[in-house]
Amino acid sequence: MQMRPVLLNSCARAASAAEARFRIDVPIAPSRATRVVALDEESEAAVRRVAEQDWHHARFYSVGGEGLELTRVDGATVPLVDELDGVDATVLVASSDHGAEAAATIGAACTVRGIMTAGLVLTTGASVAAALTALRPHARVLLVPAEEEDLAELLRAIRA
Amino acid sequence: MLRTEINELLTQTGPGTRMGDLFRQYWMPALLAEELPENDCAPVRVKILSERLLAFRDSDGRYGLIDEFCAHRGVSLWFGRNEESGIRCAYHGWKYDVTGQCVEVPSEPETGNFCANVKLRAYPLVKVGDILWTYLGDPAQQPPLPEFEFVRVPDEQTYTSKRWQECNWLQALEGGIDSSHVTFLHSGQLNSDPLFKGSKGNDYNKGDLKPFFEVADTDGGLLIAARRNAEEGEYYWRVTPWVMPSFTMVPPRGDHPVHGHIWVPIDDENCWVYTFDYHPVRPLTDDELSHMHAGYGVHSENVPGTYRPMANKDNDYLMDREAQRRGEQFSGVKGIAIQDASLQESMGPIVDRTKERLVATDTGIIKARQKLRKAALALAEQGVTPPGVDPEHHRVRSAAIVLPHEQPFQEGVAEAVVARPGVAQTTV
């Protein structure tokens, strides 16, 4: 037999502004551990500027060559695999296809670890296609063309 | 997440608000043409962007959208008589024409000019397609009429319905640009809905439950593309255009008609969802039309004589747990439109976005919010006309297409996402 709701909060009519005050109100869970990697020189400048903003657990890097090592914004070089420990999202930022090899390495490492990947193409015109080709296989979501502000906006939205 | 002040900026659309000013740059659906079916028919109360108005069609076939309340004592003109080229207040007989001009005050001397100085606020009301459109902005800035393809094809190729949704316009719109929910919430309908089933694209949809997404900026808004594996070496792309502030189209399936929505704020806690289906090159069949009337596809079955869905928050959306268990409906709620409405309304009238936990696949939503915010601020601070006002931005289509792995979707769908009269939609 179909049961009928007895109280307002036991039916869909509870979705009112008045009922909203009874929702459980606890602090939002800890912010996400996010890694942001600039894949080329032009992107590195943008990533460095965004890194200067106030973030929770986001860390920012540049990368060269195969991508097995990342360079922090303070200049320290660290192994990629160490930096992916406990991470839940990696954002790859490209302005060209110069970082294609590194994107493939990082993308593969993230896939193995079940880490969500996003890509931003910080360029317009002819370079877009090349940068897209480099990122497309490895980024679960791509924003193109993106601006520096988009990177900051994405990171804020996911509580990085 | 959004800060409280940004959430308020985006969700408040009444007079004098930033987002309200933004909406007042556009032509918006005010009601369906069927609501004013003939000259001197019953007037209709219209609430839009938190303004209470009255729509009527006078003896000469002219449409009017005026302040709902009589200038005399403030009673609703909805009780009035629509006769002899004007709406006459039922209280003391004051009469107004479609421009809001008072044309008769029976208690005043006939030779006097009292009524010449009485004029209600009025907005233009113009029929384009099945919709009566209005523009609530500065008359000096009134843009050209809408050019969306669904209102420009011949009448027999298009159908529009509407339904009341009991939540803020933005959370409803965000459902329209959030392609990833389709895989779950609407999964049952791909097999069964007569306006969806039978396309090859459905197989690709069901065969790849973890799509990749690309979000591309456009002059009028965004293109949001979902990419799934197709045959060897190919991707199946579904491309959704969003035209600011609140127009989206769903990518097509087979030769089914193409559909989409426009969300219009009624006030900050309610919106109208105008839902259309059209075919660019052929009339809709009787079968298709009967299914649309019955609430299949993206339409809803409404309470007769109203635009409120039969399944609504007062009856728990006619939740069917057995159908949910059988997998016929992922959420147990019947119909795509009500599946969306039930969940979006469950968030509350205005969802508190300071408490949400977005993920990277929400990039389309993140970008759309950013574009709305920036456009509202650019309008307020520099008078910049927002994207989506120019009718050129309306000439878009959704598309479904299979492309080789190496071909960027922007290149592959460049023609397919432009409305081209007499050319069929690009579909799989």
* Domain definitions of chain A by residue range: 31-157
Q: State the SS3 of A91-129.
A: EEEECCCCCHHHHHHHHHHHHHHCCEEEEEECCCCCHHH
> For residue B26, what pLDDT is reported?
98
B358: closest CA among A52, A54, A160, A21? A160
pLDDT digits (tens, 9 = 90+) for B318-364: 999 999 999 889 999 999 999 999 999 999 999 999 999 899 899 99
Question: With contacts defined as CB-CB under 8 Å, which chain B residues touch A11?
Answer: 313, 316
Determine the 3-state secondary structure of B135 from DSSP. Answer: strand
Q: Which residues of chain B are within 8 Å of residue A145 when distances are taken between CB atoms?
A: 216-217
Phi, psi of B267 (to 5 degrees): -145, -160
Interface test with B, best of A128, A142, A148, A155 (most B CBs within 10 A): A142
The predicted pLDDT at position B301 comes to: 97
Alpha carbon B86 to its chain centroid, in Å, reads 30
Question: How many Å lie between the alpha carbon of B355 and the closest alpha carbon of chain A?
Answer: 7
Q: What is the pLDDT of residue B414?
A: 95
Residue A10 pLDDT exceeds 70: yes
Classify domain A31-157 by CATH number: 3.40.50.1440
Mutate to test the interface with B, among A143, A147, A151, A156 (most CBs of B within 10 A): A143
Nearest CA in chain B to A121: B216
Q: Hey, is the C-beta of B322 within 8 angstroms of any chain A C-beta?
A: no
Instruction: Dig out the tokens for A5 from the structure.
Output: 């709701």
Measure A144 CA to nearest chain B CA, in Å. 5
Residue B162 CB: number of other CB atoms within 10 A? 24
* Chain A positions touching chain B (beta carbons under 8 Å): 5, 11-13, 15-17, 19-20, 28-29, 89, 91, 116-118, 129, 132-133, 136, 139-145, 149-150, 153-154, 156-159
**Does B343 contact A at CB distance below 8 Å?**
no
Query: pLDDT at position B122, please?
Result: 98
Helices (H) and strands (E) in chain B, counts: 11, 19
Specify the pLDDT at position B134. Answer: 98
Which ranges in B70-212 belong to alpha helices (H)? 169-176, 182-185, 187-192, 200-207
- Cβ contact, residue pair A20, B348, below 8 Å: yes
Helix (H) or strand (E) holding A51: helix A41-51
CA atoms of B404 and B63, how far apart (whole Å): 51
> Which chain A residue's Cα is nearest to B343?
A12
How many CB atoms within 10 Å of residue A3?
A: 6
Q: Is the CB of residue B248 less than 8 Å from the CB of residue B368? A: no
User: Which residues in chain B show pLDDT less than 70?
Assistant: none
pLDDT by residue (tens digit) across B13-45? 999 999 999 999 999 999 999 999 999 999 999
* Contacts made by residues A105-111, CB under 8 angstroms, sequence distance 24+: A105/A66, A105/A67, A105/A68, A105/A80, A106/A37, A106/A63, A106/A67, A106/A80, A106/A138, A107/A137, A107/A138, A107/A139, A108/A138, A109/A80, A109/A81, A109/A84, A110/A84, A110/A138, A111/A138
Q: How far apart are CA A33 and CA A60, in angstroms?
A: 11
- Least trusted range by pLDDT, from A23-37, A74-88, B404-418: A23-37
What is d(CA A73, CA B18) in angstroms, rounded to the nearest whole number?
38
Q: Which residue of A has its CA nearest to B226?
A: A141
Is pLDDT at A2 greater than 70 in this prediction?
no
- Where is B345: in which H helix or E strand? helix B336-346
The per-residue pLDDT for A1 is 56
For chain A, the 3-state helix, strand and coil shares in percent, each to the nearest 5, are 40, 20, 40
pTM above 0.90, yes or no: yes
CB atoms within 10 A of CB A68: 13
- Whether residue A143 and residue B1 make contact (CB cut-off 8 A), yes or no, is no
Alpha-carbon distance A56 to A32, whole Å? 8
Tokens representing residue B144 in the block? 């050209």
Task: State how far the Cα of B176 lies from the Cα of B248, in Å rounded to an integer.
Answer: 7
Q: What is the CA radius of gyration of chain A?
A: 20
CB pairs under 8 A between A and B: 102
**CA A147 to chain CA centroid, nearest Å:** 14
Q: Which residues contact residue B18 at a Cβ distance below 8 angstroms, ignoring those fewer than 6 apart?
A: B9, B12, B376, B377, B379, B380
| Termini Cα distance of chain A | 48
Q: Is the predicted pLDDT of residue A3 greater than 70, yes or no? A: no
With residue B290 as reference, give the H or E element that holds it: helix B286-293
